[in-house]
Structure 1
């Protein structure tokens, strides 16, 4: 398949909107669920436990979503490569809508007893499964429809929603908590952010129903068992993606989860200042994702992603040094820089990772690599960071070294992947 025909000249705006909304909803839910779980889920769903155990149980339900993501990547990657990107993405969106709405309407422990926490875990599990199959399909639909010279920029729109979603989620929670008393928030206010997402699901479903399928997929042959072909021919690329995305994911969760908490408990910053550090990160990451995707169309994916990994290494120790100064503006500058580093990696990912695989198992390859990378590095980052901080007697050097170590792993993975800019979205004969 020639380079001139493996993408459309102009990507329909509804496809770009679909990509943006998908990651927007995913990360809106990430912030809302994590915050609400920490604030009230221990009282609502685990009231029989003491305060510490209840909070731990509530936050463990958050982890369930991460564990379920690789399963979603495998299952929906298979169907995305067999029946199409569009049909699969409609299913993942509906699954996410049912699970998120279910959480917003879920009776508490006082109303239905032990079934309340059980259903919470079930809904969270299906959220994770849907997210695991969602990102790969959206990213590929964008990059497969784009002209080869614009894949990086068009693909980056799937990433931008991932940074704007938490900003809006934080804003919604701020409004709800401002206009409700603590008792009202505990009784019913916590449900509002979940139920608001219904509007986003309706818009997202409409866009997916009217958008077209990827022409690249429609013209391709289908692999009998995509995941079998993937590991037969491209195991190295899966491992490379796990390393690169794992490094980016680790930096993300260290900064917006571990470091944000450290500012309050270990560096005497206020909750509002901690939130500002996260906002600065998200602003830097949003701008750099779009810029990084665009730049990768001119300089190549390898150089842009590599620059992001190197910058992540350079900010590891300054991140904690800034916290030690007590100056929130310096902290915001460093977290903004960390956001830029992650954005330079994250922005080109849809084009970069998609160009690594043939069409027959591209959805499976990208989804499996990204979701297992997140599980290996990102999902455990706050827990490992906390353990290292305690192990080092409160010294932050161990956490900074851990962050650097994963960036080195990412650089090794990047070298294994090589450059892909301008590569035709070809098929693999016999796959």
Structure 2
């Protein structure tokens, strides 16, 4: 029996109950990505000197980014752990735990002594905290996506999923704004000595806000209506046995979006300030100026995927982003602020268009009984390649060739591989999530369980 949630009333463009869920997903995800992105920025700006001072500048950056990659390796672990309880117990409870784990781990990074006080134990503890961050975020995205997807009216699911992706965008922008404010208000010595710690400690305040919002929402109607006996006792085994192809293709689809976001954000920040000699404040200011365009593109891509279909919307964005990828780093290396800003704006727009529909697309690929595990595992597997290994490869390529231009061409090649994965997946727009059935029609253009009347793609 289909679950109809379209009768909510209240929030702008959404209903009262659905509006509260959208706010809960948005705020929680913004906080989690604020926490996660903080490390990326600190790794690019500070951590090489703070935790790896005995290494050369290039190797120190590589070491800091390696610790950065640890969280991406931990995210599938978090997806499995939180996905198990999310599919067995419910979506809401595990989201509260994931938020606490992420927030406390982030605050602990702000209290970490540097290499000068703890020696090799300092980077060891940093790796441990980063692993905990990854586990928390690994459980966060899938649960928040399901909150929105399982509450949303079927014909506005893409738009509602946009709130989730906006949370990630806003969280990243907030981290950039905080680092920029500290760079403007502190001397270089103050920033390196203690200033970088303040954003990490401030995470505790944001976590309090997120908990207040999330504790006020109810379980999703789709999960609440599902028969207890129908829930998989071991969701991971069910996903690996019955949906492994969807997980691999979906992870491959997301590799390019992750790589585009982190190479042109975190890696570009470290490369520009550490090797090209650009001022940290300038780079942070340009990234912050470009952020609103990315947020608008997320909203546009998510909303119009309800009309055009998920695959068609993402394919168009993929094509544009692949063509654009080789141009980003040559523009960065011109060292001209106007061209840098142009490059960041275009990249932000294309990344937003590409990732906007994902919040609705991944939950639609899996049945209710394993939806949390399937969507979360798929999303975070894509991050292992695109978010973790891409910056490491880029650092090595730049060291070998003396320029980041080859990085752009590798990024374009990764985009082509991701397109092939997307073409092998079905269209899901109009999928009835209350039907606990797998999507089987991989050879066609639509999902086999889609409701009638959806747009023909």
Q: TM-score, normalised to structure 1's length?
A: 0.90
Which residue is 1:348 aligned to?
357
Give the superposition deviation at 1:224.
1.4
Deviations 1:295-325 (A, max 9, x none): 1111111111111111111212332443465
Structure-1 separation of matches of 2:333 and 2:201: 40
1:217 matched residue in structure 2: 223
Output the CA distance in 2 between the equivalents of 1:43 and 1:317: 31
Out of 286, 293, 302, the residue aligned to residue 293 of structure 1 is 302
Partner of 2:4: 5
Who is 2:104 aligned against? 98
Asked if structure 2 preserves the Cα contact closer than 8 Å seen for 1:241 and 1:353, the reply is yes
Q: Cα 1:279–1:175, aligned 2, differ >3 Å: closer, same or farther?
A: closer
1:63 corresponds to 2:69: yes
**Mapped contact 2:79–2:380 kept (Cα < 8 A):** yes
Is the contact between residue 79 and residue 373 of structure 2 (CA under 8 Å) also seen in structure 1?
A: yes
Please tell me whether residue 31 in structure 1 is matched to residue 30 in structure 2.
Answer: no
**CA–CA separation in structure 1 for the residues paired with 2:383 and 2:40:** 17
Contact 1:85/1:141 (<8 A) preserved: yes
Which runs of structure 2 are paired with 1:132-151 in the superposition (5 Å)? 132-151=138-157
Of 175, 185, 188 in structure 1, the residue corresponding to residue 181 of structure 2 is 175
Q: State the alpha-carbon separation in 1 of the partners of residues 73 and 179 from structure 2.
A: 26
Question: Kindly tell me: are residues 414 and 263 of structure 1, through their superposed partners in 2, closer, same or farther at Cα, counting changes over 3 Å?
Answer: same
Aligned residue for 2:394?
385
Give the drift of 1:237.
Answer: 1.4
Conservation of the 8 A alpha-carbon contact between 2:35 and 2:102? no
Q: 2:211: which partner in 1? A: 205
Q: Is the 8 A contact 1:6 1:424 kept in 2?
A: no
Inter-CA distance 156–172: structure 2 relative to 1 (3 Å threshold): same
Distance verdict in 2 for CA 1:352–1:59, change over 3 Å: closer
What residue number does 1:249 align with?
A: 258
**Alpha-carbon distance between aligned partners in 1 of 2:429 and 2:182, rounded to the nearest angstrom:** 45
Over aligned residues, Cα RMSD in angstroms? 2.5
Which deviates more, 140-149 or 373-382? 373-382
| Higher helix fraction (1 or 2) | 1
Judged with a 3 Å threshold, the aligned counterparts in structure 2 of structure 1 residues 43 and 251 are, in CA distance, closer, same or farther, namely closer
SS of 2:196's equivalent in the other structure is helix
**Structure 1 residues 111 and 143 mapped into 2: Cα distance closer, same or farther (>3 Å)?**
same
Give distance in 2, aligned partners of 1:182 and 1:326: 21
Instruction: Note closer, same or farther for the CA distance 1:291–1:272 as it changes in structure 2 (3 Å cut).
Output: same
* 2:284 corresponds to: 275
Q: Distance in 2 between matches of 1:428 and 1:92?
A: 28
Q: Which moved more, 1:234-243 or 1:50-59?
A: 50-59
Task: Give the equivalent residue in structure 2 for 1:307.
Answer: 316
Q: Per-residue deviation at 1:27? A: 2.4
- On the 8 A contact 2:84/2:234 being kept in 1, the answer is yes
Question: Which stretch has the larger CA shift, 386-395 or 163-172?
Answer: 386-395
- After TM superposition, the structure 1 stretch with the greater mean CA deviation from structure 2, 364-373 or 17-26, is 17-26
Of 158, 161, 175, the residue aligned with 1:152 is 158
Q: Is the 8 A contact 2:38 2:175 kept in 1?
A: yes
Going from structure 1 to structure 2, the CA distance change for 1:389 and 1:108 (only over 3 Å counts) comes to closer
* Maintained 8 Å contact 1:145/1:216: yes
2:443 aligns with: none
Is 2:420 the partner of 1:412?
yes
Verify: 1:118 aligned to 2:127, yes or no: no
Q: Is 1:75 matched with 2:74?
A: no
Moved more, 262-271 or 121-130: 262-271
Once the two structures are TM-superposed, the CA of residue 277 in structure 1 deviates from its matched residue by 4.5
State the shift of 1:180 in Å.
3.3
1:373 aligns to what?
382
Are residues 8 and 139 of structure 1, via their aligned partners in 2, closer, same or farther at CA, if it must alter by over 3 Å? Answer: farther
Unaligned stretches of 5+ residues in structure 2:
9-14, 439-457
